[in-house]
Structure 1
Amino acid sequence: MMLKVQGISKLKGLSVLVLAAALASGSAAASPCRVTVTEARTGLEAAAAGLQAGDCIRAWRRGADGEALLIADPLDLIVVELEQAPRGGVQLKVERDGQPSWLPIASGNWGVQALPELNAGDRTRLLDWAQTVASDPTLPFPPLPVDEPRARASLALWRAGRLGESGAQASDALYGAIIEALQTTLDPTAMAVLGHSRCVQNLQGWLFAQAIERCGAAAADFQRLDLPVAALRARQAQTSVLRQSGRFAEAEAALTTLEQTVAATVPESLQAIGLMHERAALLRQQERLDEALAVAERGLARLNQIGSADRLRLSFTSTLGVIQRARGEHDAAEALLQQAVVLSERIAPDSIQLARDLNNLSLIQWDRMDMARAQQTLDRALDIKRRRGASAVDLAATLGNLALIAQPLGRIDDAERYINEALAIYRQGEPTLVLANTLTTAGRIADNRGNSAAAYAAFDEALTLYRQLAPGGSLEAWAHHFKAGKLAEDGRLDAALGEAKTAVRLQRRISPGGRDLSFGLLRLAEIQRDLGQLKAAAVAFDETIALRRKHSPDSQSLADALYGAGTVAGALGQLDQARSKYCEAVAMLERQRLRWTQSRDDLLELGRNNVDVYRACAVAWLDADDPVAAFDVLEQSRARLLLDNMARHRAELIAALPKALAEQWRALQELAATLDSEQFQAREQALQRAVQAQAPAQAALLLTRPLPWAQLRERIGADTVVITHLHDHERFWIVVAQRGERAPRFVRVGAPADEILPRAHRFTQMVRTPAGDQDSLDAEGRWLYQQLLAPVEALLRAGDRLLWIADIELSLLPPGALIAADGRYLIESRALRQAASLSSAALARPPRQLAAGSQLLAIADPAANRLSLPSMARWRSTGASDELPALPGAAAEARSIVSLYGGTARALLGSAATERAVRSLAPQARRLHFAVHGLIDPLRPLDSALVLAPGDGSVEDDGLLLAADLLAGPPLTADLVAVSACDLGSGRVYPGEGLLGLRYALHAAGAAEVVSSLWPVVDQAGAQLMTRFHRELHAGQGTDRALQIAQQDMIDDHGVRDRVVRGVGGLITQGRASARVHPFYWAGFVLDGGLD
């Protein structure tokens, strides 16, 4: 028979008699087990005491001399946990492998899941179901022949525990169904246990309205049953719900009453310490951070005295980390949050709890702008949550953080996707502070997207929720802050000023001297500056800088504040102070790059956000009559990523170093993300000195940094003139650099920057349109020549070659198509080459002689005429035509070029032009020539690709040679890579990096020189130009001279009439002829290379 216990303390006499009779008869070990443990969660007290799955729990007692009281089913066990364990001294009689023993177990959460009495077959079916349901929450619960009400209730509890937070609504429905089915037959104690379990499940699943009601009902039920400690547990859960739903005043009152009751009832219990954690969490959400810190530290100290309860210790550790982050104590916060992760990995590996702790850790990594680790941490958290079937709200928390990281990095599509998924989850429940927070983030993303209506709607909805749930708090302040930014962006400065002042007022009250205040002050200062309130703006900027030096030194946020202060100082005529602010910001950003270890896309976004800072510093040095300093800063702003890749793909140089130096160099690269700036610089400088002393040829390539003018001026060829440009918001300069000069020359242009740059863009578009008005094109080409080159013509000698380093906005402009006063194109008088920066040109490797092998490998007209491979789906989805037009001239082009080189050349044509074949043969070729289609991704340029013949379909031979593959693969050894493909030179223009795409990747992967096209190439015209180019090259001309001659040859050749364009999207037809061949046919070919 199964004993039914209405409340253990009421029937202890009967329990003792029954248990004693069983023990006396010696049948206890052989009797059926009424409570079988299926899980004792690591880190909770039951597991710490030695309880484990498979144990049979028979009884409990208080102390070694206490009476043994029967535990008849899992509901009895829960009552002992809730009511008796917090009073201390509880021991459980556990039977394992037929041997009974008494285990002492601490007060608190036991983390035990147990089954009632079942036959062996049913128990096995349930355990098999439990293993499978973790990966398939839809798996139906196996039907069992159980009619006894308490057994059915126990099974419902066990089942709900297995579903866990992955099915908050499903678990709640399960509770509701079992309560309705058993309410007329189940005893009051069992009903109270079910009600309390349902309240806890509602809390964990963020069903706040239900949780408040059900936790209150459970507390009342326990109180009526004379189970006062269990009632306190239910009231504590209700208090937590009030806090998490933003009802702080009610939570404060409830918590105060609870603390008084617990102090009088179980003052030394874990429940009392748990209330300290609840108090610390409430104070944190109220922004009473110093009080929260003190309470949390006291609670953790008391917990350490007990020596167990790792789960509660984990909660304290994590909360302390969050508090320290809010206080701006980043080192302490990171240490605590990392400790929380370590604890989670030990007590709950691969658990949802671990994912939550990773989520918290990612935020401090984000604060530090360590985007690589933040992304990695969040990816791990999201993976765990998806695999472990986390609740929707748990998933939403990580999705929201992913959106936070993606948004400032410019990955707006990703950010929008993450935040919309999170919003959809939160909107399914009742309004909460988390929903308001997510709306604030959604508003910021909509703002970046340019959707003003959506941005204002999100901000206003968030503010409404904050005023309802947590008025006057830090979260409301942030919403005002972001709305102010949007208003300022839209030119509504007076309204923006009001929002910014409200944000700062709230932040001063909540956390004076805190990190949040620095953000509010920066926004306020920027708006005051734009309104002309310069003195007020200067005060706000200075306060911002002081706070950020304290909370986030060497950070992007401090650089932003310094730049803003510089703009105000400049407007006030304080030029020295302005320069000091600008250039301190530049130095800080350069140090920040050492710790910016995310993907190349994220490195590029660092340049995107800060190009104005570098320009401001360069212009400030120019205003101070220091052109050398100005040029050095200009070099810092350009091609940093290219330089990094040039070094990264010099494995043979590293191998050539003395072994000790090679190991030191590798170690330095691995430590770049973890050392602070001073440590890194000290190690870098020491290593650089050692390498320069022992291997000077490799030094500049292995520790690549932009070279100063003092080193660059002697590397410029005697017949080479470097032309680049600098501008601020109004002024525009031509920059001329020549060998041996004391300083580069900065020549101010009369036209303003805001006229030159739009006209340069218009000219670029006109050149790419062969059917356009040639007279208008020529007029624009003449005007731009007068602005970009004519003012420095006197510095150029006959025969000088030009190295053109395009400023950011001029990256797509073909300089050879500019028209001089005498009517000639620039390419007719000057050989041209381009580079991302003078440093990258100076550090580019010179052509090398190969011991043996092919002089040239030509790849042309691969057998791929449809975007049908799965790997090509991304381009079809962007609207590209599914058809790849045939390239009738490509094969002939390749054969013609191969014939120039004779037996030292080889062609891969048609189906032979596979990725695997190219990778195999390319290392032996001195020159590579591609006549193929190109696929250009302007948003993620390193995903751009050359289309080759489909091979075996593997990742290594799928017919697409990606830019990223080139950078990740072995270094190219070719002196020259020439490509006449659709839009090869195109790509996304990044400030500081020039033009990216396959052209960039080929150069960075090790090609000494790259010839490519800036737009689709007419098939026959491209073949003619490239054939002439290779003829001149093979005859001994330098690369730039050879390309100049080939382009000159095209200018007056009216035989160009082929109309098939290489690229994706079909045909382009052009039928008019003019006195000279339109630049469309020849000006798009550009040479990237070094200074030789």
Structure 2
Amino acid sequence: MTGLQDTMVRAEWLEELLGLPSSEQQLAYLQSANLLDAEGLSKLLDQAMRLARSDPGKARQLTLICALAAQPGSAPGIIPRATYVRAQTHAINGDFTTALELIQSAREEYEAIGEKIEALRTNLGRMHVLNELGRHQEALEAGQTILDALGLGEERHPQSKMMEALALLNQGVIFETIGRYEEALKAYDIAEAQFTGLHSLERIGDVSNNRGIVLVHLGRVSQALEAFEKASQIWAETGLTLSQAQTLSNLGDAHLALGNYTSSLKAFEKARCLFEKLEAQANRSILLRKTADAYLALNLFPEALSVYREAIDLIKQAGMADHHARALWGMGAALIAQGRLEEAEPGLTEAVSLFADADNTPMLCSVMLEQAALQKVCGDQDAALHTTQRALALVNGDTWPVQRLYACLRMADLLLPDAGEAEAYLSEAQHLTTFLNLPVINYRLNSRLGRLRALQQRDREAQPLLEAAVAQIEALRGNLAQEAGRVSFFQDKTAAYEDLIQLHLDRKDTESIKQAFAVAERAKSRALVDLLAGVTTPARHLSKDSVLGNRMEALQADLSATYNRFLDTSESLEETKLLELQDRANRLEQEIGRLRLEAAIGAKEPDPFAAPYSLDDLQSHLPGDLILLAYHIIGSEILAFIIWNGEIEVVRRLSRVATVQDLLQRLTIQMDRFRAGSDFARRHMDLLEKSAQRVLAALYVELIKPLEPWLERGFPLGENIPARLAIVPHGFLHQVPFHALWDGQRYFLEVYEISYALSATIFALCQQRGCHELRHALVMGLADSLIPGVDDEARFVAKQLVDAGAKTNLLIGKEAKRESLDTGASGCDVLHLACHGLFRVDNPMFSALKLSDGWLTAADVLQYGLDDALVTLSACESGRSRVISGDEVIGLPRAFLGAGAAAVLVSLWVVQDETTAALMSHWYEQLRHGVERVAALRKAQLSIRESYPHPYYWAPFVLIGQR
């Protein structure tokens, strides 16, 4: 080891030193290497400074060894230097209070031994820590102290030039934190010139990285990417892991600003993997906040909230004021999107206060615009306008173009449909976009400009603007590899589609109607179309041996236990306890959702998107005698497209949204009356039936009667043969039992053979799937006190399938396990599940079926390979789905179709045990004799109706997909 002090300390030697169990052994090891003197310890501290940027934990250990080894008499400068480097490692780990104390201690120690320049240098550390703590003016003053003390001139010592350049670098960071972007860039330019003269490659990398952050804020994202690339190359050369991770984190921000969502999440994931190996809690906390920002941009609100909460706890504990404010802003936006308005207000107010205290004008403007959005949703238009006007005044001029543009868009949103008032703001926004090429802004502007021109009756100008907006939205969506992101992405982007549909429909000619229908299809269940067309694949299962897999398994066990409590009839839960269970379920679901997103980050890049079928393609896949009835909602209007025999018609203004929503609420009340028990139902059956028929008749008048002249074309020539009809609902109309609507004399089912679809394209894709013979079947049943007849139902279904020649695996009771379903579902021609269902209205991908060893959620189902199977879900509310904006229907039916099923039989409301068993018996008997699925269901329902005339008993089940 002799002479080691004359060379760079080797990594393996350092590992041996740090691995020694006692300080005595460490000192002896230093002695043997001739490093136990001022020169040797100084060399070790040089290494510690480098380690602080690649492995802060090891750096801190090394500083403690050096401080212990230093003799005040022979090496007086070692102790304060070790203290100062240790302060840096505490700051990296988010312990800013300790860091500030150590910096002050180092300063005093330097002053005590007369090292004035080194004492001055500690202001560099103070600048960083004070800035993170939100004490920005103090941080700037600390930097100015350095610059004033060093003076100017070219004859100074290189150490003085380096200190001045570092002060300018830190000054730029502070300017960026408080929104003074141009001043930050000027400081970086001067610092970079000095670092270049000093041949300091690492510090040039710092400048490039920090410059990129500012350029993102200014909307100059392409330049930012170049800056980050330059920094990354430097980190690769120098091996500074922490700096590499920080730049990856910033690169994720840049990709997010461009709408490159998958690239953004991948950059964040790479950064996370690097941070996890280091003691860098501050950076990990910031990365959490940025990841939540990405989830928010994708409308993944539950996952975003979960991550924001975790980030806020860590950031607040560390005292990082700027990142705390940004996280509060993001959480407020996510809460607004979920309609949790009262919860959103306090966080936004606190964010405004923090940004105002920091004098961060652009961020203050951004949060005020979020407050205006909240005021608008709460119905206070005047307050929203006033808040937006104040925000606009803050960013007057060209200093903050991105914030100015968003403020103009917010004002236009508040003023429309007043085209005269809104036009000036949209014109200014259009001017600003000539300098800012940001796809996430471009579609918003084009959508609003298109609406403006339509309101001004300038349709020839409106159409290309709206078409551009739709194309830009779909290009952004094409950047998404994760299926979950594709599902949520359209949630806030339907306005351009609706305005374009309206524009085409107003022209009233056949070609325009076709174009309107094509646009409507582009807005329906696109993520499921991608799955069925093979453009995307579901997220893969997490390995149970991985850290994420173990965490997932534990969370799913907790979630199953929570769901079981919901259905536990042995204990009477108070409302407060139910709310606690609900909150626990929500938090578990959010955490599971996060893990699934993390697992999906490595998914292969998809094709941009699967195009919906054109009308000609669609008609080529439809049976010639089938009528396709596709509803659509535009604003408050309900309309319907009717496609039959190569022709398309549209019927406008069938009804109003509010009218049908009210009727559906009344229908729900009618069906809920059966929860009072069978004795109550028997006593009041005539009254219950007539009450239900009145509501179903009113729905018929609103949704079917105006269509009768067109629907009658589909009647076949033979008598008593039902016409064939496929219904594509839209939005909340997915809740309507169209087959049970009452025309005053008969139910719609008596006249038509009705199947359902989530979109016309999905219907056509399902018809192309193979229709297998009944060769292999899996039947599972799990009875309890609420559904005691389920096991008998499963046995009878299995017998029917065996009689039909199917090799049938029957699993009931304790044998009805998740594990058995996971292994047995693939390769089935028929999958029948008779068990409890739980519909999660607030998180429908966690709607679930109860099995003996746990719950099967909709998200779990997507992992199966069902290969054109027929799936029957004989469970409570198995067919209920939530429809998010963009008509992406999510729930169990969608999940089974996405997993490869050709058709799914599901229930729309809580089903009655005895009649369900009878209906299933009829259904499978018909299938056994070769009857088409939809015809078999119709016959089974009509048969049950003879004994149980109320629709509650015979009408809950619908067939979705292949007929």
Q: What TM-score do the two structures reach when normalised by structure 2?
A: 0.79
How is 1:417-432 mapped onto 2 (pairs within 5 angstroms)? Answer: 417-428=306-317, 432=321
Question: What is the aligned counterpart of 2:751 among 784, 807, 829?
Answer: 829
Question: Do 2:530 and 2:536's aligned partners in 1 also have CA atoms closer than 8 Å?
Answer: no
Cα-to-partner distance string for 1:804-835 (whole Å, 9 max, x where unaligned): 001111112211111114x2111111100111
Cα-to-partner distance string for 1:395-429 (whole Å, 9 max, x where unaligned): 43123223323334444443333333333334445
Instruction: Answer yes or no: is 1:465 the counterpart of 2:354.
Output: yes
Question: Do 1:890 and 1:1019's aligned partners in 2 also have CA atoms closer than 8 Å?
Answer: no
SS at match of 1:803: strand
Distance, in Å, in 2 between the alignment partners of 1:235 and 1:357 is: 25
Question: Do 1:931 and 1:981's aligned partners in 2 also have CA atoms closer than 8 Å?
Answer: yes
- Displacement of 1:848 after TM fit? 3.9
- Displacement of 1:29 after TM fit? 4.5
Cα-to-partner distance string for 1:604-655 (whole Å, 9 max, x where unaligned): 111222233322221221013221111000011112122211122999xxxx
Q: Percent identity?
A: 22
Relative to structure 1, the CA distance from residue 764 to residue 585 in structure 2 (aligned partners, 3 Å threshold; closer, same or farther) is: farther
- Displacement of 1:931 after TM fit? 3.2
Give the match for residue 1081 of structure 1: 953
SS at match of 1:1036: coil
Distance, in Å, in 1 between the alignment partners of 2:788 and 2:242 is: 52
Question: Do 1:35 and 1:56's aligned partners in 2 also have CA atoms closer than 8 Å?
Answer: no
Give the match for residue 47 of structure 1: none
Give the match for residue 50 of structure 2: 111
SS at match of 2:735: coil
Give the match for residue 367 of structure 2: 479
Relative to structure 1, the CA distance from residue 673 to residue 922 in structure 2 (aligned partners, 3 Å threshold; closer, same or farther) is: closer
Instruction: Answer yes or no: is 1:563 the counterpart of 2:563.
Output: no
Question: Do 1:37 and 1:57's aligned partners in 2 also have CA atoms closer than 8 Å?
Answer: no
Question: Do 1:403 and 1:415's aligned partners in 2 also have CA atoms closer than 8 Å?
Answer: yes
- Displacement of 1:332 after TM fit? 2.6
How is 1:293-332 mapped onto 2 (pairs within 5 angstroms)? Answer: 293-297=185-189, 299-300=191-192, 303=195, 307=199, 309-310=201-202, 312-332=203-223
Unaligned runs of 5+ in 1: 1-27, 43-52, 61-69, 83-104, 114-130, 136-154, 163-174, 652-668, 682-702, 866-880, 951-958, 1055-1076
Q: Give the aligned CA root-mean-square deviation in angstroms.
A: 4.4
Question: What is the aligned counterpart of 2:386 among 483, 491, 498?
Answer: 498
Give the match for residue 545 of structure 2: none
Question: Do 1:362 and 1:377's aligned partners in 2 also have CA atoms closer than 8 Å?
Answer: yes
Q: Which amino acid is the alignment partner of residue 825 of structure 1?
A: Y
How is 1:519-530 mapped onto 2 (pairs within 5 angstroms)? Answer: 519-529=406-416
How is 1:856-895 mapped onto 2 (pairs within 5 angstroms)? Answer: 857-861=777-781, 887-895=790-798
Distance, in Å, in 2 between the alignment partners of 1:390 and 1:231 is: 26
Instruction: Answer yes or no: is 1:738 the counterpart of 2:738.
Output: no
- Displacement of 1:1089 after TM fit? 2.1
Distance, in Å, in 1 between the alignment partners of 2:871 and 2:860 is: 16
Distance, in Å, in 2 between the alignment partners of 1:1005 and 1:202 is: 49
SS at match of 1:983: coil
Relative to structure 1, the CA distance from residue 223 to residue 1015 in structure 2 (aligned partners, 3 Å threshold; closer, same or farther) is: same
Relative to structure 1, the CA distance from residue 568 to residue 1085 in structure 2 (aligned partners, 3 Å threshold; closer, same or farther) is: same
Question: Do 1:431 and 1:465's aligned partners in 2 also have CA atoms closer than 8 Å?
Answer: no
Q: Which amino acid is the alignment partner of residue 611 of structure 1?
A: T
Q: Which amino acid is the alignment partner of residue 873 of structure 2?
A: V
Give the match for residue 955 of structure 1: none
- Displacement of 1:526 after TM fit? 1.7
Give the match for residue 120 of structure 1: none
Distance, in Å, in 2 between the alignment partners of 1:947 and 1:409 is: 30
How is 1:499-898 mapped onto 2 (pairs within 5 angstroms)? Answer: 499-509=387-397, 511-512=399-400, 514-529=401-416, 532=418, 534-548=419-433, 550-555=435-440, 557-598=441-482, 600-625=483-508, 626-648=512-534, 704-741=610-647, 744-749=648-653, 751-764=655-668, 766-767=670-671, 769-770=673-674, 773-797=688-712, 798=715, 799-821=722-744, 823-846=745-768, 848=770, 855=775, 857-861=777-781, 887-898=790-801
SS at match of 1:930: strand
Distance, in Å, in 2 between the alignment partners of 1:333 and 1:649 is: 31
Question: What is the aligned counterpart of 1:414 among 295, 300, 303?
Answer: 303
SS at match of 1:716: coil
Distance, in Å, in 2 between the alignment partners of 1:41 and 1:591 is: 53
Question: Do 2:27 and 2:36's aligned partners in 1 also have CA atoms closer than 8 Å?
Answer: no
Instruction: Answer yes or no: is 1:230 the counterpart of 2:108.
Output: no
- Displacement of 1:1018 after TM fit? 2.2
SS at match of 1:111: helix
SS at match of 1:597: coil
Question: What is the aligned counterpart of 2:253 among 359, 363, 384?
Answer: 363
Give the match for residue 9 of structure 1: none
Distance, in Å, in 2 between the alignment partners of 1:756 and 1:75 is: 84
Relative to structure 1, the CA distance from residue 203 to residue 1009 in structure 2 (aligned partners, 3 Å threshold; closer, same or farther) is: closer
Distance, in Å, in 1 between the alignment partners of 2:48 and 2:234 is: 17
- Displacement of 1:914 after TM fit? 5.3
Give the match for residue 870 of structure 1: none
How is 1:329-344 mapped onto 2 (pairs within 5 angstroms)? Answer: 329-341=220-232, 343-344=234-235
Q: Which amino acid is the alignment partner of residue 590 of structure 1?
A: E
- Displacement of 1:242 after TM fit? 4.5
Question: Do 1:37 and 1:54's aligned partners in 2 also have CA atoms closer than 8 Å?
Answer: no
Distance, in Å, in 1 between the alignment partners of 2:229 and 2:8 is: 36
- Displacement of 1:786 after TM fit? 1.1
- Displacement of 1:324 after TM fit? 1.8
SS at match of 1:980: strand
Give the match for residue 991 of structure 1: 885
Distance, in Å, in 1 between the alignment partners of 2:708 and 2:294 is: 48
SS at match of 1:551: coil
SS at match of 1:547: helix
Relative to structure 1, the CA distance from residue 157 to residue 627 in structure 2 (aligned partners, 3 Å threshold; closer, same or farther) is: closer
Relative to structure 1, the CA distance from residue 205 to residue 761 in structure 2 (aligned partners, 3 Å threshold; closer, same or farther) is: same
Q: Which amino acid is the alignment partner of residue 708 of structure 1?
A: S
Q: Which amino acid is the alignment partner of residue 637 of structure 1?
A: A
Distance, in Å, in 2 between the alignment partners of 1:364 and 1:542 is: 26
Cα-to-partner distance string for 1:633-688 (whole Å, 9 max, x where unaligned): 0011112122211122999xxxxxxxxxxxxxxxxx9999979xxxx88xxxxxxx
Distance, in Å, in 2 between the alignment partners of 1:57 and 1:535 is: 79
Bigger Rg, which one: 1
Unaligned runs of 5+ in 2: 15-25, 538-599, 675-680, 682-686, 716-721
Give the match for residue 37 of structure 2: 73
Distance, in Å, in 1 between the alignment partners of 2:107 and 2:27 is: 32
- Displacement of 1:457 after TM fit? 2.6
SS at match of 1:811: helix
Cα-to-partner distance string for 1:224-264 (whole Å, 9 max, x where unaligned): 64434423422332334454445555544543453351645
Relative to structure 1, the CA distance from residue 841 to residue 463 in structure 2 (aligned partners, 3 Å threshold; closer, same or farther) is: closer
Distance, in Å, in 2 between the alignment partners of 1:929 and 1:157 is: 61
- Displacement of 1:897 after TM fit? 1.8
Cα-to-partner distance string for 1:696-744 (whole Å, 9 max, x where unaligned): xxxxxxx841011233234332221111222322332222111211xx2
Q: What TM-score do the two structures reach when normalised by structure 1?
A: 0.70
Cα-to-partner distance string for 1:49-73 (whole Å, 9 max, x where unaligned): xxxx99999999xxxxxxxxx9753
Distance, in Å, in 2 between the alignment partners of 1:578 and 1:33 is: 74
- Displacement of 1:159 after TM fit? 5.9
Instruction: Answer yes or no: is 1:455 the counterpart of 2:349.
Output: no
Relative to structure 1, the CA distance from residue 762 to residue 54 in structure 2 (aligned partners, 3 Å threshold; closer, same or farther) is: farther
